[in-house]
Structure 1
Amino acid sequence: MRSLKYLFIAFFIIFSTLPTHEAEAAEEYTSMKVKLENFLGNQTSVTLTATGDYQTSDKEVFIKAGEELTVKVESGKLVVYKNSQKKGIFASIMVTPVKQDSLLSINNRPYPGSLEFTVDGSFIRPINHVYIEDYLKGVVPREMPALWHIEAVKAQAIAARTYALRYQSKVINDTVSYQVYGGADGHSHSNLAVEQTTGMVIKHEGKLIEALFSSSNGGMTELNSNVWTSGEPLAYLSIKEDSYDPKLKWMIALDKKQIDLTNLDVSKPEDWWTSVQEEDKTIIPNLKNWLQNNGYVKKDIKITEIPVLTLTDKTSGGRVTKGSIQMNFYVKDLTDDKGKLVMQNVTLTNVEASKIRAMVGLGNMKSYLVDNTTSTDPAKIKIDGFGYGHGVGLSQYGAKHRAEAGQTYQGILEFYYPNTSIVREYSNAAAGSETDPVVNKDITAPRITSVKAKEDYLNSKVNFTYAIDEDATVSLTIKDKNSKVIATPISRKSMKKGSQVAAWNTKAVSNGNYTAEITATDRDGNKGTVTQAFKVNKDITAPNITSIDTSGNYSTEKASITYTISEAAKVTVQVKNNKGKVIATPTDTKSLKKGSQSATWNFKNVSNGTYTVTITAKDASNNQRTVSKKISIKKTTGKVTASVLNIREKTNTSSKIVGKLKKNQTVTILAQQGDWYKIKNGSQIGYVSKKYVTK
């Protein structure tokens, strides 16, 4: 099993320039030429074994099934040995399988197709002439984990095929400079994705697109011309948010001071050089390697300080384009005439961000989508970012999550390469045989979008809404948590392009998790499918009514009724007397939202006594709850003893008279202020002398 680290590094392709070759539909899509460098390395001797016979161009047998040969470079030539016996000397040699399904292994790694062996400097350099579909079977599982959702792997296969066909006329290699190719060491799951998309490519205005992809775009796709400034913006590569990309987070944290020189004698480096190391063990080795490749070849270096490491000048897609770095360091043998180490300095200001990324390491600065380059600690450098790779075109992690959410490969590719179409350039053909061109046949399945499921508790059903982008035959099935089909609300119904609705009756099912699967098949047999997870949660719980409080204001003769409801509901608030008769309705069946609510009761015309406030709340499922609370009304009254009593505006005898009372008249006493009562007489409120009113 490959290590996770290996797979992750292989996820994205580093492009230094954009290709210009256009593969035309009339070409025969038979083979690719791939120089084997990545897994083979630079070898002066290789071992060959085969599962079938291979012959040279003049039909001579080169190697038989089960046989083992050794090929060596000797005096600039290829020398072939069987055991220790020399079998031939060649400047180069092409070998082809007698049977197309044979495999030739080079140092135990099998390859399909024909192999051309050449001398590259002092090394053996095989070139694999391989049928393009077999090539893709060796590429796809190295660019994306083979066991990811099949729709994501199909999207990767089509993007990889489109990318490869732009290079069909060139000899490419098997490294990340193009696409990582591992020969016949593929995987059945990714092989299936390749086979099910045979010949499918992505085109814009009839031409193969630049099918760029990276591991993770960090939640925002990028424009090609923002990454490769020499290229023109392409209509099918744009900047937009990608909600399905998981925003892989990365961080660079680095101490500015790497070596404390306080107690080190730079006149005697031999006393401490080997025992003192830099604080950082991740980025510093990369910076040292860069220094050794840029003027300090094979030098022993100690980086003492990184005073500056910044990334700036963001594109419209939020990615940095420039950066600056400063490194202070000692080189062991660079001293003055007294043997004292001389501090060295390299400062790069406002250089391309790609240069800074190469210096610190692609695995440390995983992308150019930088969120923050500041640190609250002035002694430290902190850079936060998202994503892995350039962010242009397909996001592999985004494709994974889209597929898991029910999107097809067509929908995935349409999001990452808008304004394009998927066409089949050729049909399935055996390796090495004539292909059957099928130029520009539309194989795009109907797109099913805007899928929503909303439960109608009151009517015991779930309503579905969705849209299809072409006329199609549609089926809607409902599956339970065990993926068993329990209902088919729509069965092969012809529907027109546009918005659609459907409903499923939930009376006979229990609460739980369900999945709706919508399938649309067009007249050419292309089928698109989406799934929508939803819950059935029949509401049988009435709203809770809590925090009930009632308080009266005798000045206004109004009572405030406050309460809280646990869900949206239709609410009625009533006041009843001691005989149960409704005497007031402060809230008359009003739709209210969840949360705190209030009502007001005017008790001006009621007598003292105990009353009952009832609050009734009914939710959308007709679940109803009623609660009650007692409220006492006790108005204080007094009788006038004076023949005529003036009602004053304020509590003094010089205040304005606002009314008059007669002897034995009863008034409501609202409050006492010193020698005065605040009273209410009908609608009139004012102050009277306390000595002329008895309670």
Structure 2
Amino acid sequence: MKKTRFFYEINYFLIVLLGWLLLFHKAAEVNRAREKEGWKTWTGCVLGIAGAGGIESGMTVGMQNTGSAEATENDDLPEIAESGDERLSTLSGKIRVLLMDSGYQSYYHSSVTLNLNGADYEYTPDSPELSQGELVLGGGEAGITITSIERQESPPVYYGTLEIQNTPQGLLLINELPLETYLEGVVPSEMPASYESQALMAQAVCARTYAVCQMEEGSLQEEYGADVDDSVNFQVYGNIAPTDKTSQAVRETSGQIMCQDGKPVTAYYFSTSSGRTSTDEIWGGTSSSYLKSVECEFDQNAPWSSWKVTIPWTVLEERTRNLTGSESLESIQVVKKSESGAVTGLQITTEKEAVQLEGEYEIREFLSPQGQTITEKDGSTVTGGSLLPSSYFQLKANKGGCVEITGGGFGHGVGMSQTAANEMAKEGYSWQEILEYFFRDITLDRYE
């Protein structure tokens, strides 16, 4: 039979195809061998890029601990976070969270100990892994447990990636993760998981909206390369572990944020009102139109709806000395209130001068009931903290004796009362109706 040109062309094509298949097979074998034997070289190259100009988007690095600690169970290396990992995929982008130390006192850590893939690691500023200035770890589905950070439910577990940055002041820890996963760590830390589902959903939308605002404003970006921290400075994150109920509240409102004129609002919230909410005028500046002051009777029976505390004169005299340098305190009086009734001006008079404190936080800090007994509406007592429960109060000053303070509410009083939201949910209000009650002229939009 005569062999045609077509016959030879087909054979040539098959031979070339077979050659390519053999090459691909060999390349795959080499790649698997490199994954097993050449990890340190590969990660070293990526960390060099990170130290010079930041990790590229989508690059997540796991690195073996070779000097600062030994794995307690095995010598397995921290694994790379897979880009297809469900916990790392979201329609809403990612947020960068700066993790504070155990007492929420500092952004800088002297060292960090963590558990990753069942192995324990420790890093200090002298660790060779940090010689390039930055180490990025991917936790995968199990997350990264940081054992050197104490929270209400310790130790906290963080998903996404953990960046450890070596600075002259100490180690900075930044957790980068999907926004929706972040919210699963915020909602139970900011509102009790026992609250009604509709209240938790309203909380999730507030938390998401607030986070998006911070991501756009970037107040921590220039100095720290983060969007928020994990404390009350922004929103508490990772203090209490998620539950099925709190995570469901996040999922059922996925992507929903509050907007006005197409822009996300600053969705403040607080614990309990004194019977009326505040506008943000209590912090000075121009009030935002969506932050309305509303009558709030839903939480009128809550323990924190009214309270009283007595502060020794000597305690306030010491604070006055630290504030003004004066040795004596002559009088303390309220000189200004907001339209809603919050104290926005407190005058402190010494033998030399009169000093006026302005602003909700500054006033609550000066009148801190730290270590004093606070009696709540239901007669229960708690030990006071670093801030007066709220700026809704009246005081009676007895020079040389004590200052009696009677007030109501817990928190700054701006935006949504969480206690009221829960009571509204019990009465059948939806999460949308709860938000519309506390925020004026808003629309619900989806953040993509």
TM-score surpassing 0.5? yes
Distance 1:387 1:143 in 2: 16
Distance 1:353 1:102 in 2: 44
Cα distance change of structure 1 residues 189 and 28 upon mapping to structure 2, 3 Å threshold: closer
- Counterpart for residue 656 of structure 1: none
Matched, 1:67 2:103: no
Which of the residues 219, 233, 248 maps onto 2:305? 248
- Counterpart for residue 493 of structure 1: none
- Counterpart for residue 510 of structure 1: none
- Counterpart for residue 60 of structure 1: none
Letter in 1 for 2:133: A
Which of the residues 118, 128, 143 maps onto 1:79? 128
- Counterpart for residue 119 of structure 1: 166
Letter in 2 for 1:230: G
Kept in 1, the 8 Å contact 2:142–2:159? The answer is yes
Kept in 2, the 8 Å contact 1:48–1:106? The answer is yes
Matched, 1:105 2:154: no
Distance 1:414 1:383 in 2: 33
- Counterpart for residue 421 of structure 1: 443
Which of the residues 420, 432, 441 maps onto 1:410? 432
Structure 1 residue 186 displacement after superposition:
2.2
Letter in 2 for 1:164: A
Letter in 2 for 1:49: N
Provide Cα deviations, 1:529-552, integer angstroms capped at 9, x if missing partner. Answer: xxxxxxxxxxxxxxxxxxxxxxxx
Distance 2:392 2:239 in 1: 34
Structure 1 residue 383 displacement after superposition:
2.5
Structure 1 residue 373 displacement after superposition:
2.8
Which of the residues 159, 162, 166 maps onto 2:206? 159
Cα distance change of structure 1 residues 289 and 254 upon mapping to structure 2, 3 Å threshold: closer
- Counterpart for residue 96 of structure 2: 33
- Counterpart for residue 197 of structure 2: 150
Kept in 1, the 8 Å contact 2:344–2:363? The answer is no
Distance 2:175 2:312 in 1: 48
Letter in 2 for 1:415: Y
Structure number with the higher strand fraction is 1
Give 1 or 2 for the bigger CA radius of gyration.
Answer: 1
- Counterpart for residue 44 of structure 1: 110
- Counterpart for residue 76 of structure 2: none
Two-structure CA RMSD over aligned residues (Å): 3.0
Distance 1:287 1:400 in 2: 40
Structure 1 residue 122 displacement after superposition:
3.2
- Aligned identity (percent) is 27
Structure 1 residue 294 displacement after superposition:
6.9
Distance 2:97 2:292 in 1: 31
- Counterpart for residue 229 of structure 1: 284
Uncovered stretches (5+) of structure 2, i.e. residues with no partner: 1-89, 148-154, 219-225, 370-384
Structure 1 residue 311 displacement after superposition:
1.7
- Alignment partner of 1:178: what SS? coil
Kept in 1, the 8 Å contact 2:425–2:431? The answer is yes
Cα distance change of structure 1 residues 308 and 159 upon mapping to structure 2, 3 Å threshold: same
Distance 2:124 2:243 in 1: 31
Letter in 1 for 2:132: F
Distance 2:182 2:331 in 1: 45
Kept in 2, the 8 Å contact 1:104–1:111? The answer is yes
- Alignment partner of 2:215: what SS? coil
Matched, 1:322 2:369: no
Kept in 2, the 8 Å contact 1:134–1:184? The answer is no
Structure 1 residue 252 displacement after superposition:
3.5
Matched, 1:215 2:255: no
Distance 1:415 1:203 in 2: 15
- Counterpart for residue 20 of structure 1: none
Cα distance change of structure 1 residues 125 and 365 upon mapping to structure 2, 3 Å threshold: same
Matched, 1:96 2:159: no
Structure 1 residue 243 displacement after superposition:
1.2
Structure 1 residue 220 displacement after superposition:
0.6
Kept in 2, the 8 Å contact 1:147–1:190? The answer is no
Kept in 1, the 8 Å contact 2:273–2:417? The answer is yes
Distance 1:213 1:126 in 2: 27
Kept in 2, the 8 Å contact 1:32–1:131? The answer is yes
Letter in 2 for 1:132: L
Pairwise mapping of residues 130-209 of structure 1 onto structure 2 (< 5 A)? Answer: 130-169=177-216, 170=218, 171=226, 172-182=228-238, 185-209=241-265
Kept in 1, the 8 Å contact 2:91–2:255? The answer is no
Distance 1:94 1:291 in 2: 47
Provide Cα deviations, 1:301-358, integer angstroms capped at 9, x if missing partner. Answer: xx8x75422222111111121112246xxxxxxxxxxxxxxxxx67543331543321
Kept in 1, the 8 Å contact 2:189–2:241? The answer is no
Distance 2:273 2:416 in 1: 8
Kept in 2, the 8 Å contact 1:353–1:368? The answer is no
Matched, 1:357 2:364: yes
Structure 1 residue 379 displacement after superposition:
5.7
Kept in 2, the 8 Å contact 1:39–1:182? The answer is no
Distance 1:293 1:174 in 2: 29
Cα distance change of structure 1 residues 91 and 387 upon mapping to structure 2, 3 Å threshold: same
Cα distance change of structure 1 residues 183 and 245 upon mapping to structure 2, 3 Å threshold: closer
Matched, 1:389 2:429: no
Provide Cα deviations, 1:241-280, integer angstroms capped at 9, x if missing partner. Answer: 1111236212232455x5xxxxxxxxxxxxxxxxxxxxxx
Letter in 2 for 1:150: S
Letter in 2 for 1:228: W
- Alignment partner of 1:167: what SS? helix
Pairwise mapping of residues 534-553 of structure 1 onto structure 2 (< 5 A)? Answer: none
Uncovered stretches (5+) of structure 1, i.e. residues with no partner: 1-26, 51-64, 81-87, 259-283, 297-302, 328-344, 426-436, 438-695
Given the two structures, how large is their TM-score scaled by the length of structure 1? 0.43
Pairwise mapping of residues 508-657 of structure 1 onto structure 2 (< 5 A)? Answer: none
- Alignment partner of 1:419: what SS? coil
- Counterpart for residue 513 of structure 1: none
Structure number with the higher helix fraction is 2
Given the two structures, how large is their TM-score scaled by the length of structure 2? 0.64
Provide Cα deviations, 1:173-219, integer angstroms capped at 9, x if missing partner. Answer: 11111111117832222111111111111112221111011112211
Letter in 2 for 1:324: Q
Structure 1 residue 111 displacement after superposition:
0.5
Q: Specify which structure has the bigger relative contact order, considering alpha-carbon pairs within 8 angstroms and separated by 6 or more residues.
A: 2
